[in-house]
Structure 1
Amino acid sequence: MKYSLQLGATIALLLLLSASLANAQTNYKISVPQSFLTKDFLALATDNITNSGRHIEGGKFELILEQEHAEIYVRSIFESAGIPVLNVSSTKEIATFREKAGGNNCETAELLCSNTSQTANSGGAGTQELTGANQGCLGIEHQSSWYYLNVQTGGSLSMTINPNNGSDDYDFAIWGPFTAATANANCPPTTAPVRCSYSSCTGPTGIGNGNGCYSCGFFGLSTCYGAVTGTGTSEGAGGDSWVSALTTSANQIYILLVDNFSNSGQAYSMSFGGSSVLGCTPVVLPVELSAFTVSKTSKGNSLGWTTQSEDRSNYFTVEWTTDPASGKWSEIANVPAQGHSQDIQDYSIFHSNPSTSEINYYRLNLTDLDGSRTTYDAYMLSADNSKDSKKVERVFNLIGQEVDDYYKGIVIYYYSDGTTEKVYR
């Protein structure tokens, strides 16, 4: 019996070890000259590669990848960024569970209703929403979470972001102030943030007073930690991780982005202090959009969208391009909205002359009654009409009448190859 129990325990241990190895990752330690050992160089080399963590530890860069035996690849990405590599070594470690957080995109920002401490996690980048116009001190999104801060009582507002993993480097930016009616139209933001920290310090960061890092020691070459009074509104990699508190007024809305530069998937806690109090007044969404679709036919593309509710909506604009990276979009239709509705509403348009040599891209915009404009980038559609070979010969409505391209409703296409298709346009 004793040997049977020992055998069972051994088998269980081997299974556990096997499962652990299956989830293992590799930590690559990259030795570089001291002058290159900065956050900016680490970002330059690794911002555009998939990784599970990155840090500056023990006088070396650390890069965590799922790939084993990738020392040559790791060396190449740093040297391609102009960073001399002295040595690359690696060790195996168990993968950390990465919880996907809500609010990875500004469109799905979470409303924070309390000053009390809460746990959150930046599990992914979502859509890259930082641009030259709004990024301030930040670069790209790495593992990001977006929030609305709704000020109920005005005053001085401080904030502390405290990573669970003390070696993680968290950054943040705050935009505003807005109102409950305009916050959604400014998400993602269109201007520079009012507070921003891209400090290379690890550990806590925020606005107001806290424990930050600064250069001291032998000729200022080593890093020290201690109490810091937040000053200034923005700081780069050389900052001490704290900027000045916000002075707020009641009913103001701010937008907050918290970003895990380290890509570790580790959670953080966040709390707010000062005399300002956050409340739970909802941020007004002019339109709750639930669907945006495209149906491709040889006569063109039928586009439709559905709203669950509308508040102060004026009209929709459908835009089209064959090169979304250029930022040049053409308006192909304006459709009146409902204004105010708590019922499901369906809309549609027909694009009769899409490109047949390039991929067609579509996006939807809403103009509110106060003139605010919202672009639903997360719902961007594409259609490749170059693959259509059969031609539409005749189009009929459901009662058998032949109709032209301007007819709205359900129609039946009769193709040259004898097939038919029912389309809502």
Structure 2
Amino acid sequence: MKFTLLYTVILCLLGNQVLAQSNTPCTSGVISAPNIAVNASCTFQSGTTVGATNQTNANNGGTPSCGSMGEDVWYSFTAPASGTVDIQTAAGSIGDGVMALYSGTCGAWTELACSDDAIGLMPQIAMGGLTPGNTYMIRFWQYGGGTGTFDICVAEAAAPAGNTTCTVPNPICSGSPINFVANAGGSSADVINPGNDYDCLSTSPNPSWYYLEIATAGNLVIDITAGADVDYEIWGPFPSLANATSNCNTYGVPEDCSYSPSPTEQAVVNGVSPGEVYVLLVTNFANVVQTININEAASNTASTNCAIVMPVGYTYWDAEYNEGVVDLVWGTEFEENNRDFIVQRSADGLVWETIGAVAGNNTTNEAQNYAYTDNDPLTGISYYRLMQVDTDGGIEYNTVLSVNTSDIEPFTVYPNPAAGSFNIYTKSKNIEHVVLTDMVGKTFDVAYTGTSNGLEIDCNNYAAGVYTLTVIANGTAQSQRLVIKK
């Protein structure tokens, strides 16, 4: 299965984003659960299980593998280009929730993960290896039953890195936080690099290694946060990265170390000086797939050299579909030995092709602006990235963007509010479904008749209230808010 299209259905009421609800993943064999947008970081939206029932038949996912079952609601999301997501929840009136993640099709769901307590008593699932463009399902309920409110978000997380040894640490810098998905069930640092002094770390499972170079003197303070127990150790100072990596397996007593049971840690090295290199080890003691964030703390007074992270500093990067072409624009605030930008495109986020190149500006501290136009874009969802090439041949990739190039015209609803009937005007010729979803997630397949101006729909049989109106045409779903009055 290459791609399943289902787009975000969100009600915006009184300035707050409130997700429509669905007690079932599908209606009449078609996915009808509201879609949650996958953002670059966690953007919570409000959800509720009010009005839901407890369903454990096969069509509704069966009995999940964790938590005590209760009244459940379903959501869908489209896997991003990286294939890696972090699904977080926060307490509302529900303070003890459970969540499961599924792949598959209507009536044939496969549980991929189940989470009971991760963020306090609320669940979190970090999952990699998803197929970009495919639709996945989230199921949420209160532990032991009961109904109420909660918050939920889906964010794209960086895939697990290959920096599992101190011979190949990844660069980090202050002001550029890193989110990565930590592996579970992996080897330990003291097995991979047994010659180091691991000091307070009695165990060091699932290691991730980083290095940083001091730019201005001060106190180096780094926050490390996750959903479950993580630990760290930091060594230095080293005169250079080459010296730090060549001494891997012989690191002595660290500058700082923590083996606490907390999911939040803070590494501190006071009195650092310009040019010094430090090596940071973060371990995933919880041994669960989870997102770990590394960022400078508010009390940090030192700064680090961000040129080690990337040879160019991007100020913006955007892709937009305009009248049959895709316009790509980006800017930089600094460049170091930057030869050019290779523009790449993909139909699935996995296999990439080069479609053009734009010359860089070698070394400069002045702001630069760039543009490239894809005059023959792919149909449907496609992905774009830049491969930045140094003068010495080194390469770095920037963030992947997705663009929908389908020529789908927005539909118009009138009158709205509607009483008795309403009309839908759309230029799309192949209307497949029209669906109404009420505030508690109950869905209605809507009968309609065609007119010269689109569709006419009788709404006399629907109760007064606020609905999400979804029109599926040419395989694409679009939604608008509709008010029915009596």
Q: For this structure pair, what is the TM-score category when the shorter chain's length is used for normalisation?
A: 0.3 to 0.5
Scaled by the length of structure 1, the TM-score of the pair is 0.38
Q: Going by fraction, where is helix more abundant, 1 or 2?
A: 1
